[in-house]
Structure 1
Amino acid sequence: MSGAIIFIKEDLNISEVQEEVLVGILSIVSLLGSLAGGKTSDAIGRKWTIAFAVGVFQTGAAIMALSPSFGILIIGRLLAGVGIGFGVMIAPVYIAEISPAIARGSLTSFPEIFVNLGILFGYISDYVFSGLPAHISWRVMLGVGILPSVFIGFALFVIPESPRWLVMQNRFEDAKSVLSKTMEGERQVEERLKEIQLAAGLANAEKYEARSVWREIWNPSPPVRRMLITGCGIQCFQQVTGIDATVYYSPTIFKEAGIKGNNQLLAATVAVGFTKTLFILVAIFLIDKVGRKPLLYVSTIGMTTCMFGLCLTLALIEDGQLGIALAILAVCGNVAFFSIGIGPICWVVSSEILPLRLRAQGSALGAVGSRVSSGVVTMSFLSVSRAITVSGTFFIFSVISAISVVFVHKCVPETKGKSLEEIEIMFQNEAHWRGEVEMGDSERLMQKE
């Protein structure tokens, strides 16, 4: 959409407010798809929820590509957003349930890698098709997004259903057949099947406890309150620091810096996508070696510096090669620091800190904050930029990013190398949560509890 919007404005003659709605509505609507995905996947299965997501997205993409007006384009965007919401929710669930334990960690990190790879491919397709006439180019840019989902559609004939869902449907032989494809040895298959059967047997009890879980979240004890502050806070800071505005509106930013031609604008955005994809791979390699908190410090401080640098560049350096080069460097640096830290670590920390009984609902609450924050930022970026300039907008982002450094220092403990039980203990004591005592005191804290 970042590249297509250039030609949509030219072809359909839409206003800035319409542009903001078109770009930002995806984040809001994808939240609805994600929230509905849980019950849908329990009802029809993980595999066919993927199929449903593919169908909804393909319909939306086709409507966008063929839309004769802004109203029809919005309808297609809404459908595409719902499909993406289902896909974003079901992908990690399916991967976690289908993967063998030994490879689950690396496999469940794939969605984050491929989201960034998809952004890069989107930028590249924008550049490739930018030479077509305006009324055709944006339609091809949006329509080509159907191709990956077609591949997923064919893959549905090959991939199996989740063994956990099969057990919940009392289809034990089918579940055993799936497990035999991902595990070695009949004994391991039988043991794993028994574990899943035991977990499935507790499912009904968990449903009856759901109301009390929400009650605990809305009226939390001090330890749960600390967990929610950390989990929901890092989710919101991930978005209010302006990353989606940078990704969606990078052509607007580069145009402000002095790049004139559409081809040059889109070529610069390819550099942004490449940088974002490269550094997410670096983060996945470092996260268990360096730790969460050091990477978060590097990320938030680096983003603050880059956005403040972009603010100064746009405000003080007039059109010229130096200003363009510094703007591209600042934007690429911003997405690099985001990808090496708060981007992926946000999801890791949110899933680690909450106890099992609260993990699903607490994570959903964090996702609400993330998606709403993203929608607000992307749907207001152009209006705010017009009121206080793009430079002023990124000054605000840099201030928010500086606040996120303080939040990381005060409210995000280091969880590297700690068991889930140790992490839960950390939140029992406020001084421990804030890092004022060492983890070596964990046994003493456990004994006190």
Structure 2
Amino acid sequence: MGMGEEEQGKQNGADAGGRTNKYAVACSVIGSIISILMGYDTGVMSGAMLFIKEDLGTNDTQVQILAGILNVCALAGSLTAGRVSDWVGRRRTISLAACIFLAGSVLMGLSPNFATLLAGRCVAGVGVGYALMIAPVYAAEIASADIRGSLTSLPEICISFGILIGYVANYFLAKLPLVYGWRTMLGLGALPSAALALGVLAMPESPRWLVMQGRPDEALAVLRKVCNTAGEADVRLADIKSAAGFVDGDSAYAPAPAPGSGGKGVLKEMFLHPTPKVRRVLVSGLGIHFFQHLSGIEAVVLYSPRIFKAAGIASRSEILAATIGVGVTKTVFIMTAILLVDRVGRRPLYLSSLAGIVVSLSCLGLGLTVIERSPHGHGAPWAVALAIATVFTFVASFSVGVGPITWAYSSEVWPLRLRAQGVSIGVAINRIMNAGVSMTFVTLYEAITIGGAFFLFAGLAVVAATFFYFMCPETQGRALEEIEEVFSQGWRARRRQQSSSLAVADGKA
């Protein structure tokens, strides 16, 4: 393969004055805007449900279905998005996601009854499934190794920004007449969809997808835009072609797999005949999605008005204002994560994040339990303050690690041929867990109390930390084409190798 992308990247970075390629960043930002739609829907629905219940007379079961059906339908979207993106390309898949969400938003905004509203939310859910799959994949395939963690975390900050916009929309649109307020809240999701449909026209296609289609000249043209030097572009193209199984002959470009195959045979390679390396990638890439929502983030974000009400905040305007604070906290700490992920590494941030989650959820459970057991629900001032404060510390802890790193890590561990459909399945698992939490949280806390529900989430976060520590190796600073080698050894072999390296370093010292 010659010089690896990482070493070449360092050399080219020096040649280019250590500049971050602005074109690559701009492309990743535009591609990640699709994630704002997911965040906006989650944030705006948390407040809209209060008004939908009053206007349409929905019961708690219908509210839970309305909250979770988007994720059930996102499951269908994400399961098909990987194959579609292998077939039509990453850029067109982003455009398709925007169009689907646009249709869903319009339908929700014009809903005359609960059935139509539910149908619109189902359509929007399919678009969300496409968005969650394609945004981190596109960013990962455009970015170089030294900034990939930051750029693949952009979808998460866009989700958080969307949640914040949703919370702000709730606060101001709540002043509209009841019949128009919640419909306007939900219909506004059409605006970023339309903007993205135009913005995507200025984006290049993923160079890695172009290589898989047997179009290396077009891939090189894109790489020369997203790299700082022509030499870096040439090396990255050679590494991509090698990882994809293509070789350069003396007179022709000869592919190992058939170009344009649209990802056929990938699922068999992943699940029926996986190599040990692919098996380890499966466990890590899918497991990290499985545990993300078991931390309880969806319960806090989607049902934060109920949590604040349980903590003693009474008026609707105060509850909606408090949820804006949650959105601001989430956005600020995800921006912090983006600044740190390529400097500190994935593992330290993720494990530190889970430690904060465990402490925050335990304290939140304690505070809510004390409040709930107090006469007439008026808990001690310290319990009220603890419950409110730990909602914010929990959101901050999640946002600085578990939130963004889940998307960054799961988009970079897959080999090129498996990436789109591997991420697609990971997103499907993510949506299943999200739907499971959002559709059962009310029932759960009615069964074991709201404090008990958060104690349960704290215990599950401990399990998540154990999983990540043993099953997910560090990927910081490695080229996508090199990461597969990280999984060539199991955890014990990696630990022995690290111990040997440390012993050699100590001996030299």
TM norm. shorter chain > 0.5: yes
CA displacement at 1:183 relative to structure 2: 5.9
Match of 1:257 among 311, 314, 336: 311
For 1:145 and 1:322, how far apart are their aligned partners in 2? 39
**Residues 179 and 189 in structure 1, CA contact (< 8 A), matched pair in contact too:** yes
**Residues 280 and 339 in structure 1, CA contact (< 8 A), matched pair in contact too:** yes
CA-based RMSD of the aligned residues comes to 3.5
Q: Tell me the residue number matched to 2:175.
A: 131
Decide whether aligned partners of structure 1 residues 106 and 401 sit closer, same or farther in structure 2, where only a CA change above 3 A counts: closer
CA displacement at 1:355 relative to structure 2: 4.1
379-388 vs 89-98, which deviates more?
89-98
Q: Tell me the residue number matched to 1:432.
A: 493
Decide whether aligned partners of structure 1 residues 316 and 341 sit closer, same or farther in structure 2, where only a CA change above 3 A counts: same
Q: Tell me the residue number matched to 1:341.
A: 401
> Is 1:68 aligned to residue 112 of structure 2?
yes
Q: Tell me the residue number matched to 2:282.
A: 228
For 1:302 and 1:39, how far apart are their aligned partners in 2? 37
Q: Percent identity?
A: 44
For 1:215 and 1:165, how far apart are their aligned partners in 2? 19
**Residues 34 and 86 in structure 1, CA contact (< 8 A), matched pair in contact too:** yes
**Residues 129 and 427 in structure 2, CA contact (< 8 A), matched pair in contact too:** no
**Residues 79 and 425 in structure 2, CA contact (< 8 A), matched pair in contact too:** no
Decide whether aligned partners of structure 1 residues 270 and 439 sit closer, same or farther in structure 2, where only a CA change above 3 A counts: farther
**Residues 257 and 314 in structure 1, CA contact (< 8 A), matched pair in contact too:** yes
For 1:282 and 1:16, how far apart are their aligned partners in 2? 37
CA displacement at 1:135 relative to structure 2: 2.2
Q: Which amino acid aligns with 1:248?
A: L
CA displacement at 1:397 relative to structure 2: 0.8
Match of 1:392 among 440, 447, 452: 452
Match of 2:378 among 301, 319, 322: 319
**Residues 116 and 276 in structure 1, CA contact (< 8 A), matched pair in contact too:** yes
CA displacement at 1:132 relative to structure 2: 2.1
* 1:188-337 pair list within 5 angstroms: 201-202=255-256, 204=258, 207=261, 210-211=264-265, 214-218=268-272, 220=274, 222-317=276-371, 318-319=377-378, 322-337=382-397
CA displacement at 1:304 relative to structure 2: 1.0
Decide whether aligned partners of structure 1 residues 349 and 158 sit closer, same or farther in structure 2, where only a CA change above 3 A counts: closer
> What CA deviation, in whole Å up to 9, does each residue of 1:37-70 have, x standing for no partner?
2343454444443333222211111111111111
> Is 1:12 aligned to residue 56 of structure 2?
yes
268-277 vs 42-51, which deviates more?
42-51
**Residues 149 and 476 in structure 2, CA contact (< 8 A), matched pair in contact too:** no
Question: Please, which runs of 5 or more residues in structure 1 have no aligned partner?
Answer: 445-449
For 1:90 and 1:422, how far apart are their aligned partners in 2? 20
> What CA deviation, in whole Å up to 9, does each residue of 1:71-100 have, x standing for no partner?
100000011111222222333344455567
Q: Tell me the residue number matched to 2:39.
A: none
For 1:230 and 1:103, how far apart are their aligned partners in 2? 21
Q: Which amino acid aligns with 2:485?
A: E
**Residues 227 and 427 in structure 1, CA contact (< 8 A), matched pair in contact too:** no
Decide whether aligned partners of structure 1 residues 257 and 366 sit closer, same or farther in structure 2, where only a CA change above 3 A counts: same
For 1:415 and 1:254, how far apart are their aligned partners in 2? 38
> Is 1:409 aligned to residue 463 of structure 2?
no
Q: Which amino acid aligns with 1:134?
A: L
**Residues 213 and 357 in structure 1, CA contact (< 8 A), matched pair in contact too:** no
CA displacement at 1:288 relative to structure 2: 2.6
**Residues 46 and 90 in structure 1, CA contact (< 8 A), matched pair in contact too:** yes
Decide whether aligned partners of structure 1 residues 280 and 187 sit closer, same or farther in structure 2, where only a CA change above 3 A counts: closer
> What CA deviation, in whole Å up to 9, does each residue of 1:141-171 have, x standing for no partner?
1112222122223324544555666777788
**Residues 173 and 184 in structure 2, CA contact (< 8 A), matched pair in contact too:** yes
CA displacement at 1:429 relative to structure 2: 3.6
CA displacement at 1:284 relative to structure 2: 1.8
For 2:210 and 2:476, how far apart are their aligned partners in 1? 34
92-101 vs 310-319, which deviates more?
92-101
Count of matched residue positions in the alignment of Structure 1 and Structure 2? 443
Q: Which amino acid aligns with 1:145?
A: G
**Residues 306 and 333 in structure 1, CA contact (< 8 A), matched pair in contact too:** yes
> What CA deviation, in whole Å up to 9, does each residue of 1:203-226 have, x standing for no partner?
526959953762553455555444
Q: Which amino acid aligns with 1:20?
A: Q
Match of 1:372 among 432, 453, 460: 432
**Paired residue secondary structure (1:72):** helix
Match of 1:382 among 435, 438, 442: 442
Decide whether aligned partners of structure 1 residues 197 and 327 sit closer, same or farther in structure 2, where only a CA change above 3 A counts: same
Question: Please, which runs of 5 or more residues in structure 2 have no aligned partner?
Answer: 1-44, 247-254, 372-376, 505-509
Q: Which amino acid aligns with 2:194?
A: V
TM-score by length of 1: 0.85
* 1:351-362 pair list within 5 angstroms: 351-362=411-422
CA displacement at 1:346 relative to structure 2: 2.0
CA displacement at 1:305 relative to structure 2: 1.0
Decide whether aligned partners of structure 1 residues 41 and 303 sit closer, same or farther in structure 2, where only a CA change above 3 A counts: same
91-100 vs 105-114, which deviates more?
91-100
CA displacement at 1:189 relative to structure 2: 7.4
**Residues 286 and 425 in structure 2, CA contact (< 8 A), matched pair in contact too:** yes
**Residues 426 and 432 in structure 1, CA contact (< 8 A), matched pair in contact too:** no
Match of 1:119 among 147, 152, 163: 163
